[in-house]
Amino acid sequence: MKFFSVYARVLGLLKPDRGVAWFLVAANLAVMGFQFAEPVLFGRVINLLTRSDTMSDRHVMGGAETLLAIWAVIGLCGIGANIVMAMQAGRFLVVLILGPALARLLAARMRDRSVQG
């Protein structure tokens, strides 16, 4: 339960950017689901191939094509979700952490230049 309390506290600190934070949470859960589904589908393909000696060729090919198509779609969706999540997390980092630090750095430089000039 400590994990959930820490997670809730972090999300509470991110209230100004709540939408992006919840989007990242949802994207992480989607990536997790896709990564869980891939080995399950691989196992189903292997099970189909091990039972192929008792099935007709047409039935084996139909089942294999269906499973491989689902596997490909889930793999591509997982890649896409990972890319979107990484891009949004990078933007979030720049806006929340690097943005204020960069603003302080630029303000200090401008202050130093005005003192020197």
H-assigned helices in 56-98: 57-93
Q: Write out the two tokens for 61.
A: 């090919």
Q: Write out the two tokens for 11.
A: 């999300």
- How many structural domains is the chain composed of? 1
81, burial (CB in 10 Å: exposed 0-12, middle 13-18, buried 19+) = buried
Does 31 reside within a domain?
yes
Does 103 reside within a domain?
yes
| pLDDT recorded at residue 72 | 92
Does 117 reside within a domain?
no
Does 102 reside within a domain?
yes
Closest CA to 81 of 38, 26, 11: 26
Instruction: Give the distance, in angstroms, between the CA of residue 52 and the centroid of all CA atoms in the same chain.
Output: 36
Q: What is the pLDDT along the chain (117 residues), one digit of tens a residue?
A: 688 888 788 777 777 777 877 888 888 888 899 889 989 999 998 998 898 888 888 988 998 899 999 999 999 998 988 888 888 877 777 777 767 777 777 777 777 777 665
Q: Specify the pTM.
A: 0.63
Does 13 reside within a domain?
yes
Residue 62 belongs to what domain range? Answer: 2-112
